[in-house]
């Protein structure tokens, strides 16, 4: 083999290695960028997906991308003023009923949230997992409130305080869904301003301290 041939073979091998390294680097960079975008978009929901997939970033990313592909095109329907008022009154009533029947109030809150979501154009309540997946795309910072309600309502060991916390936490999702504008964001209009102090008072069981 001549010296020139050997040099050409080595040069070709080096070029192939550099090309492979470049492809791998771009793929890795692309995945990292995609992960960052998903983290920004989903916030706490990204952490839940990562935990669900045992810390496997690629699987979590794939799961969330599939949700966006399947449900990202949903354009929430507006609520008529009378419907919004009706749902708002129902939520206020179940908060007040919590004092006498906390577990039933939590169960009713879960059903009410599911009905409001369906009215806005999300999957129907008889498809609870699909509804949660769709809500996680449009309301990633508050969808856990509905999951918490459902867990609390079905837990025989949930204390009154745990039930109260579940109902308080779910209110953020309720207010998001009741907002007349976009699906989420700080500009969302509250259906009825309720301070944290007044909210805790509404949900305190009889005989408890202030």
Residue 52 lies in a domain: yes
Mean pLDDT of 40-46: 93
Q: What is the mean pLDDT of the chain?
A: 80
Q: Give yes or no: residues 48 and 99 share one domain.
A: no
**In total, how many domains does the chain have?**
2
The CA-based angle 173-177-182, given to 5 degrees, is 115
Mean pLDDT of 61-84: 95
Q: Give yes or no: residues 37 and 132 share one domain.
A: no
Residue 58 lies in a domain: yes
pLDDT at position 15 is 55
Mean pLDDT of 71-87: 94
Q: Give yes or no: residues 67 and 86 share one domain.
A: no
Domain span at residue 107 reads 81-203
- Its pTM stands at 0.70
pLDDT at position 182 is 43
Q: Give yes or no: residues 105 and 133 share one domain.
A: yes
């Amino acid at each position: 083999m001549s010296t020139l041939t050997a040099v050409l073979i080595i040069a070709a091998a080096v070029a192939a290695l550099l090309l492979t390294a470049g492809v791998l680097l771009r793929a890795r960079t692309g995945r990292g960028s995609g992960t960052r975008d998903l983290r920004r978009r989903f916030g706490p929901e990204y952490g839940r997906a990562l935990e669900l997939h045992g810390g496997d970033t690629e699987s979590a990313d794939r799961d969330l991308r599939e949700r966006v592909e399947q449900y990202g095109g949903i354009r929430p329907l507006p609520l008529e003023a009378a419907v919004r008022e009706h749902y708002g009154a129902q939520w206020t009533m179940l908060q007040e009923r919590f004092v006498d029947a906390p577990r039933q109030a939590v169960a009713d809150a879960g059903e009410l949230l599911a009905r409001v979501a369906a009215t806005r154009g999300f999957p129907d309540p008889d498809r609870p997992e699909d509804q949660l997946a769709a809500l996680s795309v449009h309301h990633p910072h508050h969808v856990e409130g509905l999951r918490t309600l459902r867990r609390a309502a079905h837990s025989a060991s949930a204390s009154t305080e745990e039930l109260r916390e579940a109902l308080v936490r779910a209110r953020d999702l309720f207010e998001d869904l009741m907002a007349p504008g976009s699906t989420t964001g700080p500009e969302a209009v509250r259906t009825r301003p309720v301070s944290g102090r007044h909210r805790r008072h509404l949900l305190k069981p009889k005989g408890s301290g202030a």
